[in-house]
Amino acid sequence: MAKRATMTLPHLEVEAELFREGFNTIAAIDEVGRGSVFGPCCIGLVVIDAKVGPFPEGLRDSKLLAQGIRIELKEPIEHWVVDFALGESSAQEIDDYGLTAALRLAGRRALAQLARTPDVILLDGSFDWLSDAPALLLDAHYPAVTVPEVRTRIKADLTCASVAAASVLAKVHRDRLVTQLARDFPGYELESNKGYATAAHLAALRLLGPSEFHRITWKLPPRAVG
């Protein structure tokens, strides 16, 4: 893990290229909770402009950072960017609409909170789940926001400082939400697994069955009878 982190230090080269193309503001987006079986999927969004300074020391993709370091970075990140927002889609919405539509819903909820529409979006991954999609019979009610041009980049959370910052804000936010929910739903060890399908979490599902915050459509193990 340490070797990977050393080889993939984030930078602002991709963002600088976008500024050279003529974009004045960049929104960087990353998600957390995509693979969880419990709780919401959360979107982190940060906005930077061409005047952006050096990013906070120690910034990395949230998956490479210990929880305490992520929490320490939260405030410096919020001061480093010109705007930021967080969006969520619930487990129920993920079940109702599917993961892609739920990601789009959470992303647009984050966009709706910004003071102004950014010029371009830098999105982690290879698939643009944020832009318009064909209407479905059952579809989420998206906020009425303008979605600017989206640029996708594989492993942007590892290489682009702005996306890494978005990932940290999203991870800190979601971890806090799940930790709060853990008090009301004991037995699933949510404090430690944060809703992901660890062996202990799956064993608890077999014993207790799912809660109202579990993603029922995600092939959870059946509750043991007797």
Question: What average pLDDT does range 153-170 have in this prediction?
Answer: 97
Alpha-carbon distance of 139 to 197, in angstroms, equals 27
The model's pLDDT over 88-139, given as tens digits with 9 standing for 90+, comes to: 999 999 999 999 999 999 999 999 999 999 999 999 999 999 998 766 656 7
Residue 167: the pLDDT is 98
Whether the predicted model's global pTM rises above the 0.85 cut: yes
> Would you say 110 and 85 are in contact if contact means Cβ atoms under 8 Å apart?
yes
Question: What average pLDDT does range 22-37 have in this prediction?
Answer: 97
∠ CA 218-108-149, rounded to 5° = 115
Q: Are strands 25-32 and 41-49 parallel, antiparallel or unpaired?
A: antiparallel
Name the least confident of 8-12, 24-28, 32-36, 204-208. Answer: 8-12
Alpha-carbon distance of 139 to 45, in angstroms, equals 23
Name the least confident of 54-63, 105-114, 195-204, 216-225. Answer: 216-225
Q: With respect to CATH, is domain 2-180 assigned 3.40.50.1370?
A: no
Residue 144: the pLDDT is 87
